Every structure is written in structure tokens, then in C-alpha cells.
Chain A
């Protein structure tokens, strides 16, 4: 089966500066991919390239089998939550979802689906108030509802739990887990590492435009603390130039790329799935 998201040497340059360089990914259907990186690492640029909003300078990428240079083919399959919730202050929460359903031509029981999402995110009581009066968290919930309203095959989420209270964040995590348990592929960019730890099947860490580590969360964690006890934070700090360094051998199923882009892969025969592929 084709991967849900596949990128080969994907690069975006602005003048002489590479925002993303030679990024290669292969994310299987129905998985959750946690995309981490320091501020300015190129995460948003990557997400924009994969959602067709930014044209790559070079390299290729396919989402749900469609080339990212072919917008109509890609957008049919995706849902997208940008960093800033995509809502209009003048509309009510319900109207915003009705509008999104109208644009997407959501068939069947669209009204029922909207009501279900409003209820699921605890927005029913405020559904007929204007979004301008909503809190940041409520706007974020409307944004997530818009992204999943049409049940996309691939979901791109940029900081989905930003601004949410613990209960709402828990709801979002549950929704994402349900989606991933189905056939939805979730590409999740966030700085909230416990969310990634809980949900992600695979974690990729981007630093200065390059993928510097990729693997299952447990595999990556085991690299930074032999004998266990490592956290994703330790991994993040280690591979993005923090105080920790990865001195131990990569665990099976994980790979860490040094600053020059050379891969140290797990000694498992160099598999080709998302968690074991070597990068140039």
C-alpha cells in the first residue's frame, strides 16, 4: 500500500537560505506522525508544502497518492488546521461549520455531523454566539472541528492543543486517537511533547530545515538514556543541539542524523519503513 505521506528530498529555499532541505518522509496510512522541532526549524514550511500552500523548490512529495503540486488532487483528501484558527469573528460557531461544510460539499447528514462535533467539543451552548466573543481555546476547537468535519484521509494539525484547557486538550487527544484508530493519517506538529508521546506512532525532529531524528517515541527515548528513563524532551534537546548529547548507539528502529546530515541508523538491516529509513 502507498504511504499516506511520502516526501523525497523535499526542499524549500528562500533565496540562498534553505527553510527545508532534502526532507524525506514515508508515513504509513492510519498512523500519527509527531513532527517536532525548535522555532524556525521549518515545520510550518514543511506543512505548507505538504498541504500545497507553498511550492517546493525541489524534491517530490505525495499526499494520499497525489502530487503536492496538484492542489485539486491533494485537497480532496486533507484536513488542515493552521497555527491561527481559520475562523471569521463575525460568524457564529455553527455558521462557521455550516460554511465549511458548504465549501467541502459535505454530503449525507452534514447538519448531524456539525451538531455532533459541536457537542463533542463542548461548543453546543455557545454555537449561536459570534466567534468574536469566543476564547482562544473555543476558536481553536472550532478550527479543529473544521479540519475533521469532512473526515479527511490525511489530517495536518499545527499546534492543535495550543490555547486549550486540560479538559479540551484531552478531548482533542481522544478525537485524534479515534481518527488514527480508523484510517486517518495524522501529521501533528506541536511543541507539547506529552501529546506526541501519547499519540504518535513515529516522531520526526526537524532542526534547521533538516530531519535530524526519526523513530518510534520509545526507540528515540531509549537512545538518550540507556536503561530507560529518557523522555522526548531529552531526545529533542539532544538532537537539536541542547545540553544532552546522544552518545549511545541508536536503538533498533530509530535513526539519528548528525549535524552533517549523516545517518546513524539502527543495526536492524536498514529497513525502509518510516521508523528506520536512512536519510542522506
Chain B
């Protein structure tokens, strides 16, 4: 095989780096978040270097060697997984790949990608590779200790990146050839996300990662700790030398397989999911499915279309899961205590309504995509268009909100009357949420697709619409939520001299009134925006 061209590789890496930096400059919010995250990471690594400086004596004495081996194994595994996931999810090709592969040899592209990924993975941790060994050398007064520490960490990061790179391409090769993966890609992604959520909510990350790190520590990977401490600590010289040999083996092995693996992926005949049919009899109908009974006209069709599209492309609704992260703590408490907190029941009631509105109505114009000009000139009036979105929200959302709130509420310490009030509030909020979402989303639409996962793009609501809609719905829901929580209700009862039932009814009624007004205003706004839509 021809050796990769240094000039080509360098040019591709520099161009990719420039593109990523420019992409950041085009997204100030992302750049700020990245700077904040990077800043925290640097501070953390500075702290680590300081800790190494003060613990240098104990480290040199060898008393922390077993721990150092587990930490080295854990860090190595983490890097392998992060790199492999990155490759599998998104980084297995550059943009405009066809152009690259028809311009330079695939080996040049593969080599460039190794450097790009290595740079991306190692750069954030570069301070540790330099600062921790420097601190260790300074504390022990040994330049050789610093050098060995640097070599040990550099070997650890390099082998982990190469292993992750190869593992990622191997998995990706299998995935793109698997008809099963092609067919159930969305479901598999959802399962992985749920597993991740389960680990977070149950706070069992340590229980999962600990055994893995200990298992890897029993392999030669742990020798990187021996290599890093070789000149000063009572470690195994054989293990230290073994770590160097392991690094060479990994590098040679990776080089041997990375080119065939990358080429195999880039020139693969990918498995394609069989074109999915409706599964129904091939007859043409002119009624909008389940909505025909409620509205057989254009509004029914708009609702029918919205539900069909959401059901068949659930990835567009991924953003609905974001507020679930706020449930991490209460769900963890509920799992540990076996009791559903009252606040969680109230939160679920509002979340169900919020999700229904956000899922079906928060970007009514942008969600039309290329069909918007035709929809706008179809003769459908704005009120009909808005009503269609309300219909989808209410018909799909209200029953789900009702059932979920009732089930969660019944497991909470709330009195039956409080649960009933929450159920009514949730269903009512669902209906109003459609109008609020349609109004906010029409004023603050998003027409361009954004990346929703590393490999999927979709037109989702704008961030501002997301925030404004959430705030409006929370404000309208707050009276019902407040009276549902016993602590707040007791305080109100004391202050106002009203009974529990009175407060529950009043709070729910106020919320329904507020969401009714906001929903109607939103509905009118959405209708006007659709009627006045121009480009």
C-alpha cells in the first residue's frame, strides 16, 4: 500500500480544524458553553496537578500503586469508549466525503481522521499529560519521574485513542451492513438513551463503572501506571517495559487494521431498511384516520398528518426528553424511598401537557418544511391550520396526561381529591398547551434543520420558542401545581382560611382559566401568522 501523503494529511486535518472552529464562531452560544466547559476542565486538571504535587511522596512510596492501576485502567477504558462512540455516531466520515475520496487516496483520509480524532479526544486533556507529570517531577525533584509520567500518560492516551478508533470503525462496519440495525436504528438509539437515563436517575454510574475499571486493571492496560512511576516508585520494571511494548503493539496493530477497516466502511454496500409501507390495504381513503369523527375537514387532516409524522419520525421529538433530566433527583428519591413525592406527581401532570403541546404544535410553520408554500396556498385558512394542531395536541395528549397523572398521583401521598384535581388540570393544560405552543411557535419559528443526534438532522422548534412556551405554560400551571403540594396548600389554607378542597378547586380553576386565555390568544396568533405567511 502506498504511504499516506504528509501534505494531504496535513491539509485535511488543518481544513477540518478550521471548519470546526468556524462552525463554533457561527454559534456563539455553543462557543460560550464550550469555553465554559473547557475552562472547568482546565481548572479540574490544575487541581489534579496540585493534588499530584502534594501526594507525590505517597505515590512515590508505592502505597497508591493499586489505586493508580485502577485509575489508569478506568481512564483508558473511558477514552476507548468515548472515541469509539464518537466514531460510530458521527465521526466515521468527513463532510463532502465523496469529494475527498475521489481526490486523494483513502489512506490519506484515514490517517487524517486518526489525527483529527486523536486531536479532538486528547486536546482537552493535554494539560493533564503535561501538568501532572511536571508537578510529580517538581515534588520528587526528579526529571526522570516527570519524563516517565509524561511517557506513561502519553502512551495511555495514544493507545486508548487508537483502540477506540479501531473499535469504532469495526462496530460501524458491522452496523452499516446489518439490516436489523438499519431497520431499528431509532429504537436502538432510544434504548441506549433510556439505559443512560436509568443509570443517571438511579445514580448507579459508579456501580457500573467500578467493576469494569477493576476488570481492565487486571489486564496489561494497568501497566501504564507502572510505566509512569517507573523511576521513583517500587513498581514492576517488567510491567513498565511491558507497557511500552504494549504501546508499540497497539500502534502497529492499529495501523495494520485501520486502513482496511476505514476503506471497508467508506466503500461499503450499506444495508438499507426495506421501504416501509403502511401495512394497510392499498386503497385510497379520503378521511383523516381517527380524526374523521372529530373533524373530517382540513383541520382533521392537519392533525392526522402531524400525528403520523411524529409517530414515524420520533427522533424529531427527542427534545421532549430534555425536561426529564429534571426528574433525575425525584425519581432517584422515589426509587430509594419507595414513595412518589407529591412534587413529582405535580411535575408529571405539567410535563405531560407541556410535551403534548411541544411535540405537536411548537413549530407549526417550520415543521411544514418544503410543503409550507403549498400549504399556505392550499386555501386552508389560518384558524383551520391552528385548529388542526390543537386537535392533535388535545386528542393525543389529554388521554395520556390523564392516565399518567392518575397513575403517578395514586402512588404519591396525595389525597384522592388532590390527585383528581391534578388529573383535571393536566388534561385541561393539554388542550390549552396546543394553542400556546402554536402561537409561540408561529411567532418564533425555526425553518432550518438542526442536528438532533450526531448523525440525524431535523427541523425542531427554536430555542427561544422552547423557552417562551415553557415559561408561559409553567406560569399558567403554577396555581394548580401549588395547591397540589401539601406544604404549599397548608400554608395557603392558613393564610386564606380556606379548606383543602376549596383551594384545590380554586387553584385548578385559575390554572384552567389562565391556560384557556393564553391558549386562545396563541391560537389566534398562529392563525394570523399562517394567513399572513410570506417569504
Listed stretches A25-33, A90-98, A172-180; interface member: A90-98
Q: Are A102 and B373 touching (Cβ within 8 A)?
A: no
Listed stretches B141-149, B153-161, B188-196, B377-385; interface member: B377-385
Residues of chain A within 8 A (CB-CB) of B379 are 72, 75-76, 103-105
Q: Are A130 and B276 touching (Cβ within 8 A)?
A: yes
* A276 CB, nearest partner CB in chain B, Å: 31
With A54-B534, A71-B377, A91-B305 known as contacts, the answer to whether A133 contacts B370 (CB < 8 A) is no
Does A18 sit at the interface, judged by CB under 8 A? no
With A86-B373, A88-B371, A133-B276 known as contacts, the answer to whether A128 contacts B378 (CB < 8 A) is no
Residues of chain A within 8 A (CB-CB) of B284 are 94, 97-98, 110-112, 114-115, 118
CA gap between A80 and B370 in the complex, in Å: 12
Q: Are A86 and B282 touching (Cβ within 8 A)?
A: no
Q: Are B377 and A129 touching (Cβ within 8 A)?
A: no
* B450 CB, nearest partner CB in chain A, Å: 16
CA gap between A27 and B203 in the complex, in Å: 71
Closest to A102 in B: B301
Closest to B376 in A: A53
Residues of chain B within 8 A (CB-CB) of A89 are 313
Q: Are B535 and A53 touching (Cβ within 8 A)?
A: yes
Residues of chain B within 8 A (CB-CB) of A97 are 284
Residues of chain B within 8 A (CB-CB) of A115 are 284
* A207 CB, nearest partner CB in chain B, Å: 22
CA gap between A126 and B275 in the complex, in Å: 9
CA gap between A91 and B379 in the complex, in Å: 21
Does A55 sit at the interface, judged by CB under 8 A? yes
Q: Are A53 and B377 touching (Cβ within 8 A)?
A: yes
Q: Are A86 and B371 touching (Cβ within 8 A)?
A: yes
Q: Are B370 and A87 touching (Cβ within 8 A)?
A: yes
Does B57 sit at the interface, judged by CB under 8 A? no
Does A244 sit at the interface, judged by CB under 8 A? no
Q: Are B280 and A103 touching (Cβ within 8 A)?
A: no
Residues of chain A within 8 A (CB-CB) of B300 are 102
Does B410 sit at the interface, judged by CB under 8 A? no
* B312 CB, nearest partner CB in chain A, Å: 4
Residues of chain A within 8 A (CB-CB) of B286 are 98, 101-102, 106, 110-111, 114
Does A200 sit at the interface, judged by CB under 8 A? no
* B377 CB, nearest partner CB in chain A, Å: 4
Residues of chain A within 8 A (CB-CB) of B378 are 75, 100, 103-104
Q: Please encode chain A, from 137 to 165, with 1 for each CB lying within 8 Å of some chain B CB and 0 for all others.
A: 00000000011000000000000000000
* B179 CB, nearest partner CB in chain A, Å: 14
Does B285 sit at the interface, judged by CB under 8 A? yes
CA gap between A260 and B126 in the complex, in Å: 65
* A203 CB, nearest partner CB in chain B, Å: 25
Residues of chain A within 8 A (CB-CB) of B336 are none
Q: Are A128 and B282 touching (Cβ within 8 A)?
A: yes
Q: Which of B297, B308, B376 contacts A91 (CB 8 A)?
A: B308
Does B298 sit at the interface, judged by CB under 8 A? yes
Q: Which of A52, A53, A91, A133 contacts B309 (CB 8 A)?
A: A91
Does B86 sit at the interface, judged by CB under 8 A? no
CA gap between A104 and B531 in the complex, in Å: 16
CA gap between A85 and B531 in the complex, in Å: 22
Closest to B373 in A: A82
Residues of chain B within 8 A (CB-CB) of A78 are 377
* B191 CB, nearest partner CB in chain A, Å: 21
* A104 CB, nearest partner CB in chain B, Å: 6
Q: Please encode chain B, from 363 to 374, with 1 for each CB lying within 8 Å of some chain A CB and 0 for all others.
A: 000000111111
Residues of chain A within 8 A (CB-CB) of B337 are none
Does A191 sit at the interface, judged by CB under 8 A? no
Closest to A113 in B: B284
Which B residues from 336 to 385 make CB contacts under 8 A with A? 369-381
Q: Are A75 and B377 touching (Cβ within 8 A)?
A: yes
Closest to A158 in B: B373
Q: Which of A51, A94, A101, A127 contacts B373 (CB 8 A)?
A: A51
Residues of chain B within 8 A (CB-CB) of A54 are 534-535
Residues of chain A within 8 A (CB-CB) of B309 are 88, 90-91
CA gap between A86 and B375 in the complex, in Å: 9
Closest to B301 in A: A102
CA gap between A111 and B380 in the complex, in Å: 20
Q: Please encode chain B, from 268 to 281, with 1 for each CB lying within 8 Å of some chain A CB and 0 for all others.
A: 00000001111010
CA gap between A78 and B378 in the complex, in Å: 8
Q: Are A72 and B371 touching (Cβ within 8 A)?
A: no
Residues of chain A within 8 A (CB-CB) of B531 are 71
Does A198 sit at the interface, judged by CB under 8 A? no
Q: Which of B301, B370, B381 contacts A99 (CB 8 A)?
A: B301
Does B409 sit at the interface, judged by CB under 8 A? no
Q: Are B298 and A146 touching (Cβ within 8 A)?
A: no
Q: Are B277 and A129 touching (Cβ within 8 A)?
A: yes
Q: Which of B285, B297, B374, B534 contacts A105 (CB 8 A)?
A: B297
* A111 CB, nearest partner CB in chain B, Å: 4
* A49 CB, nearest partner CB in chain B, Å: 10
Does A48 sit at the interface, judged by CB under 8 A? yes
With A54-B535, A103-B298, A111-B285 known as contacts, the answer to whether A130 contacts B312 (CB < 8 A) is yes
Residues of chain B within 8 A (CB-CB) of A100 are 374, 378
With A52-B377, A103-B298 known as contacts, the answer to whether A95 contacts B308 (CB < 8 A) is yes
CA gap between A217 and B304 in the complex, in Å: 46
Q: Which of A53, A102, A118 contacts B298 (CB 8 A)?
A: A102
Residues of chain A within 8 A (CB-CB) of B380 are 103
With A71-B531, A94-B282, A111-B285 known as contacts, the answer to whether A103 contacts B276 (CB < 8 A) is no
Does B288 sit at the interface, judged by CB under 8 A? yes
Q: Are B282 and A53 touching (Cβ within 8 A)?
A: no
CA gap between A111 and B286 in the complex, in Å: 6
Residues of chain B within 8 A (CB-CB) of A74 are 377
* A102 CB, nearest partner CB in chain B, Å: 3
Closest to B371 in A: A86
Does A226 sit at the interface, judged by CB under 8 A? no
CA gap between A90 and B375 in the complex, in Å: 17
Q: Which of B275, B371, B534 contacts A55 (CB 8 A)?
A: B534
Can you identify 23 A-B contacts, CB atoms within 8 angstroms? A51-B377, A53-B533, A53-B534, A75-B378, A80-B374, A82-B373, A84-B370, A86-B373, A88-B369, A89-B313, A91-B305, A94-B282, A94-B284, A97-B284, A98-B284, A98-B301, A100-B378, A102-B297, A103-B301, A103-B380, A111-B283, A112-B284, A127-B282
Contact residues of A with B, CB < 8 Å?
A: 48, 51-55, 71-72, 74-76, 78, 80, 82, 84-92, 94-95, 97-106, 110-112, 114-115, 118, 126-130, 133, 146-147
Contact residues of B with A, CB < 8 Å?
A: 275-278, 280, 282-286, 288, 297-298, 300-302, 304-305, 308-309, 312-313, 369-381, 531, 533-535
Known: A51-B373, A53-B535, A114-B284. 19 other contacts (CB 8 A): A52-B377, A55-B534, A71-B531, A75-B379, A76-B379, A85-B370, A86-B370, A90-B308, A91-B312, A94-B278, A95-B308, A97-B284, A100-B378, A102-B286, A102-B288, A103-B301, A104-B378, A105-B297, A111-B285
